[in-house]
Structure 1
Amino acid sequence: MNWLPTLIKACYFLAALLFILGLKRMSSPRTARGGIVWAGYGMLLAVLITFALPGLHHRGLIGVAVLLGVSAAWWTGRRVAMTDMPQMVALYNGMGGGAAAAIGASELVGFAGSAVVLLDGAKFAADPTVAPDAAQLALGVIGALIGAVSFSGSLIAFAKLQGWLDKRFVFPGQRAVNLLILLAALVCGGMLIAGQLTMPLIVAFFVLALLFGLMMTLPIGGADMPVVISLYNAFTGLAVAFEGFVLQNEAMIIAGTVVGAAGTLLTQLMARAMNRSIGNVLFGSFGAAAGGEAQAISGSQKPIEASDVAVMMAYAERVVIVPGYGMAVAQAQHKVWEFAKLLIERGVKVKFAIHPVAGRMPGHMNVLLAEAGVPYDLIADMDDINPEFPNTDVALVIGANDVVNPVAKTDPASPIYGMPILDVAAARNVIVIKRGRGTGFAGIENALFYADNARMLYGDGQAAAGELVAALKTLDG
């Protein structure tokens, strides 16, 4: 069967093409679904052909593990609500990092076993027939470190998004403690690479790596979750690629590299959308004072009734709807789209404006709107929609807070100063659907809510949208 290795490599190459083409198609909402299917076929091919690898052991156990994993993913994927998608992404991403760390642990334990051969009843020496080379060992350690950090960090991100943990955990000297943990993990990793492959050292290395992932993520608030999820996605990809080099598996190398590169670029885009560096996200203190005294906000929040909002929007020429995490929590996307369709039927020009970091994961609002059936050509990103706000009759904000706060442009003392925002305040009229008078994740008041052209429609997002639908139908009736 001399043809088998060639067949395996050819299948891995085809799988890699499907990964890359699938990722390319995911760049557009119109082709994203097909891209996911293409990448899925690539993964299926890579998994199936792996069973044909010569010398592969425990095929039965591997098959059971694959079956259990597929079943769990299918069940949870079918049941998870669209509003809970960020939690699922964080959890699944953590599982990928954990798998890479587990591969690294298995390889290190195997290397340790090959390096301990009893000679003359007293001395230990490496077995040159199975001992790893230095590059292979180094890549295994690096991949294990990154995967373990991604695993534990993603679990904390999941717990935060699920509401099981408070937004941030901060204590004096936290950065110094985190740095010491990282240095200790790096020292242990260096000793492993140097050939000191002992079980106590391997255990200490993984404990420190997992602890660093926990400690690095605990102080990060919910407003930074889109960046954090993207970063850990990149970490998982890199970890898989490094472990692919250790196992000499082309599919893992290519898939991991693609995911790592895409995740890195997405992380940079998310951080740029907040006008912050990745280091500031991880080690900064979002929500703390930026220096100086913040500008005082004058005026008052002015409530409005749903019936008056319906009249205002029914006779408007241009309407822009700005969704945020509050819409996701209220699961109001379907009612919002129903209201938008009624406006469109009356001849109102309606668009949806999306901030790059709105929600709790990259593209969160796009996913919710697509799930509700909003056509792609009605969804505009920040750069495209901002010039249109001055000519917009009514901007309807539902659940968004910090991404529409004008102090990001006017108050140098604000913690969000310099962050690009949706220029909602420039619209002729602004309606804000909000549950209460609380602040956003940045912990600051929103000057938009006090503006002369803004009115507040208080209440649950879904209920408020339902009231708008009912009021608009009354006008039509």
Structure 2
Amino acid sequence: MLSQGFVSAAAIAASVLFILSLGGLSNQEKAKRAVWYGIVGMAVAVGFTALGPGIGGYGWLIPMVLIGAGIGTYLARKVEMTEMPQLVAALHSFVGLAAVFVAWSADLERRRVLAARAADGVMQEFSAFAALVATKAPDELTFLQIEVVLGIFIGAVTFTGSVIAFGKLAGKVDGKPRQLPGGHLLNAGAAVLSLVLAVMYLNGAGFWTLILLALLAFFIGYHLIMGIGGADMPVVVSMLNSYSGWAAAAIGFTLSNDLLIVTGALVGSSGAILSYIMCKAMNRNFVNVILGGFGGSQGPAAEIEGEQVAIDAGGVASALNDADSVIIVPGYGMAVAQAQSAVSDLVRKLRAAGKEVRFGIHPVAGRLPGHMNVLLAEAKVPYDIVLEMDEINDDFASTDVVIVIGSNDIVNPAAQEDPNSPIAGMPVLKVWEAKQVFISKRGQGTGYSGIENPLFYKENSRMFYGDARESLNTLLPLID
């Protein structure tokens, strides 16, 4: 058993590693090293915590750690990159549910301690946490109760919200915004009832108040995320990431665990900042995201004139062979088709022919922030030709050919031209300003988001139908 001094020193070291990990993830070239910082930091955190003072029950602890490690290893090997967003959402739900269970357990231990004090007796089988609670003064126990309420509420909202986000990302739940009759009034009513239950609990009401509080928070999490459209899931995932961090911090305060507080605060604050960046990229109000009040249409969409004109691989190859500058815009369709390697091969062939090739990446492309950057890095696309929307948007007007691979909303001119569009006001990549635009798409449907795209009907646009990977592999031999 290690002393508290060793555990505290390990917590500081783990916290530094987590900070270095987050800092390194801001740069693609440093990302691999940053991930290792996080891995080592978590190993230090778990190991030294398990060996710290007051920790026992290794007969339960060790098997649970091994089972969890086994499940994690299995998922890491099995889950495809296209399934990573829903996996992240699922992991957020675990953090939220853990916060609820820990908070319930903390209150039960608090009640045991108070019962022992009232009976003027001595508890012979104090748990490590109960022993900690027994040392607290009455005002400190009040703060513990506040921490319990926050842990339950944030954790429960995170749990059901993440479960619904997982369902929408995995296609198991309808991606359209759905709310029960009453809409936001139901959420507001549930929040007010939650506050009433919290006040009752703080004034001595029974454990039943915490059960009802959790049920109300479960409903709020469910109803909030059900009210958000599937096209807005990247923002939702980053928001739930923030919620899971604050839930972890609440657990840390309850357990007097400094490392959980620091880690939760890091995750919570970074998730909140990322949510703000995502909202800015989609021209959304941050408060509306928190309240689940966006993702639906604003009125009847403008009618689209013209028709979608198809083109074959030969026509696309001819345009590419004549072009001097090419911009590729990837979206979730590239991930679904696992076409990143074929895209990388196309880039190498075009660059070998002396053409300028770059990528335009929208902040919310894919279903997870940074989704496209990760896929392109996996395919070994050079980092220096992968540019963000603000860096490349002014260059489309002077570009010969743009190839859009599986994108819809992020290249949709309706965002700027149709005030009734569900994505009205959202900054988009202005691909239609290029001389020629080729859209690689499976078929004529609206895709996952269900939003029609006028780009597909423009005179300088051609539809390159088919599976993205197969289409690109057909195209590659035709490039000079």
TM-score normalised to structure 2 length = 0.91
> Whole-Å Cα distance in 2 between the matches of residues 246 and 67 of structure 1?
26
Conserved in 1, the CA contact under 8 Å of 2:310 and 2:465? yes
Structure 1, 440-449 or 373-382: larger mean CA deviation:
440-449
* Structure 1 residue 194 corresponds to structure 2 residue 193: no
Give runs of aligned pairs for residues 207-356 of structure 1, distance below 5 A. Answer: 207-281=215-289, 282-290=291-299, 294-356=301-363
Q: Which residue of 2 aligns with 1:95?
A: 94
- Displacement of 1:97: 2.0
Q: Give the counterpart of 2:435 among 399, 408, 428.
A: 428
Alignment check: 8 A CA contact 1:402 1:440 kept: no
Instruction: Give the drift of 1:54.
Output: 1.7
Deviates more, 1:78-87 or 1:178-187: 178-187
Distance 1:348 1:164 in 2: 43
Distance 1:129 1:379, change over 3 A: closer
Q: Distance in 1 between matches of 2:355 and 2:115?
A: 76
Question: Any idea what SS the aligned residue of 1:335 has?
Answer: helix
C-alpha distance in 1 between matches for 2:292 and 2:240 = 15
Q: Say yes or no: does 1:170 pair with 2:179.
A: yes
1:224-264 CA deviation, whole Å, 9 max, x = no partner? Answer: 11111111110111111122112111110111111111000
Letter in 2 for 1:175: H
* Conservation of the 8 A alpha-carbon contact between 2:323 and 2:401: yes
Report deviation, 1:398.
Answer: 0.9
TM-superposed deviation, 1:165 = 1.1
Alignment match, 2:160: 152
- Contact kept, 8 Å, 1:100 with 1:144, in 2: the verdict is yes
Return the letter of the residue paired with 1:115: L
| Secondary structure of 2:204's aligned partner | coil
For 2:56 and 2:172, the matched residues in 1 are separated by 40
Structure 2: distance between partners of 1:341 and 1:454: 24
In 2, distance between residues paired with 1:209 and 1:98? 11
Q: CA deviation at 1:78?
A: 1.5
What runs of 5+ residues in structure 2 fail to find an aligned partner? 120-132
Query: SS of the residue aligned with 1:421?
Result: coil
Superposed, 1:15-26 pairs within 5 Å as 15-26=14-25
Structure 1 residues 260 and 285: alpha-carbon distance in aligned structure 2, compared to 1, 3 A threshold: closer
Aligned counterpart, 1:123: none
CA–CA distance in 2 between the matches of 1:222 and 1:192? 37
Listed one character per residue, the Cα deviations across residues 82-105 of structure 1 (whole Å, up to 9, x for unaligned) are 111111111112212222222212
Q: Which moved more, 1:316-325 or 1:275-284?
A: 275-284
Contact preservation (8 Å) 1:221, 1:441: no
Q: CA deviation at 1:446?
A: 1.1
State how far apart, in whole Å, the 1-side matches of 2:216 and 2:430 are. Answer: 45
Other-structure match for 2:125:
none
Tell me if the contact between 1:399 and 1:434 (Cα under 8 Å) persists in the aligned partners: yes
Structure 1 Cα separation of the partners of residues 17 and 361 of structure 2:
29
Q: Provide the secondary structure at the position in 1 that maps to 2:36.
A: helix
What is the distance in 1 between the residues matched to 2:345 and 2:110? 61
Distance across 1 between alignment mates of 2:451 and 2:147: 44
**AA matched with 1:79:** K
In structure 1, what is the Cα distance between the partners aligned to 2:37 and 2:79? 22
1:362 matched to 2:369: yes
The residue type paired with residue 179 of structure 2 is V
- Is residue 447 from structure 1 mapped to residue 460 from structure 2 by the alignment? no
Deviations 1:405-445 (A, max 9, x none): 11222222323221100010111110011112222555432
Q: CA deviation at 1:186?
A: 2.7
Q: Which amino acid aligns with 1:254?
A: V
Structure 1 contact 406–448 (Cα < 8 Å) conserved? yes
Q: Secondary structure at the match of 2:309?
A: coil
Q: How far 1:294 sits from its partner (Å)? A: 4.0
Aligned residue type for 2:187: N
SS in 2 for 1:96: helix
Partner-residue secondary structure (3-state), 2:425: coil
Q: Residue 59 of structure 2 aligns with which residue?
A: 60
2:31 equivalent in structure 1: 32
Matches of 2:232 and 2:203, distance apart in 1? 37
Tell me the SS of whatever aligns to 1:30. helix
The amino acid that maps onto 1:177 is L
Pair 1:456 & 2:463 matched: yes
What percent identity do the matched residue pairs reach? 42
The answer to whether the Cα contact below 8 Å between 1:108 and 1:202 also exists between their aligned partners in 2 is no
- Between the aligned partners of 1:362 and 1:267, the Cα distance in structure 2 is 9
TM-aligned CA distance change 1:128 to 1:327, over 3 Å: closer
Contact 1:287–1:444, Cα closer than 8 Å, also in 2 = no
CA-atom RMSD in angstroms: 2.1
Aligned to 2:7: 8
Structure 1: unaligned runs, 5 residues or longer: 121-126
Residue pair 1:402, 1:441 contacting (<8 A) in 2 also: no
1:388 is aligned, of 386, 390, 395, to 395
Aligned residues: 464
The alpha carbon displacement at 1:37 in A equals: 0.8
> Which one-letter code corresponds to 2:186 in the other structure?
V
Q: Report how far residue 57 of structure 1 moved.
A: 2.9
**After superposition, what is the alpha-carbon deviation per residue over 1:436-458, rounded to whole angstroms, capped at 9, x for unaligned?**
22225554321111111111111
Matched, 1:379 2:386: yes
- Give the conservation status (yes or no) of the 8 Å contact 1:287–1:443: no
Asked if the contact 2:227–2:293 (Cα under 8 Å) also holds between the matched residues in 1, the reply is no
Are the aligned partners of 1:185 and 1:209 in contact in 2 as well (CA < 8 Å)? yes
State which of 185, 194, 197 in structure 1 corresponds to 2:194: 185
Question: Which residue identity is paired with 1:194?
Answer: N
Q: How far is the alpha carbon of 1:48 from its aligned partner?
A: 0.9
Cα-to-partner distance string for 1:147-206 (whole Å, 9 max, x where unaligned) = 12111211111111111111133343122222222222232233223332x232222222
Distance 2:9 2:118 in 1: 44
